[in-house]
Structure 1
Amino acid sequence: MAAPPHPDEIERHPATARRLHAAEQAISSPDPAVREHAIREAGEIVRAAHREVAGG
């Protein structure tokens, strides 16, 4: 299994970085639905970056 993407790799894609940062901030929301959505969003972004770095 390949290593997870380095944070700098995500930062090379400004729109993706903005989405990830927004999701990271939303994880602190007092609303459980907002937190759940943010966790899913962040996970999707990181998994997509991992696939790209791994060449898949």
Structure 2
Amino acid sequence: MMIFQIWKSLMRLTMWWKMIRCVSFVHCQLILWLMNLMMITFSELRTRTNDNTQRKHHV
């Protein structure tokens, strides 16, 4: 039973991989760009919260 479930998940993964591979280069670039944007915004938010905590400590 367990092996069957693992096999099913593997098949699903390969299916996803094929779909991703079939997707155009532009789409990949878009995903990368979005990921970069998310990372930048996340780091910005983190630095902002850090600044806020530091300010609170200073007061």
Q: TM-score, normalised by structure 2?
A: 0.42
User: Max radius of gyration: which structure?
Assistant: 2
Bigger relative contact order, structure 1 or 2 (CA pairs below 8 A, ≥6 apart) = 1
Q: TM-score, normalised by structure 1?
A: 0.44
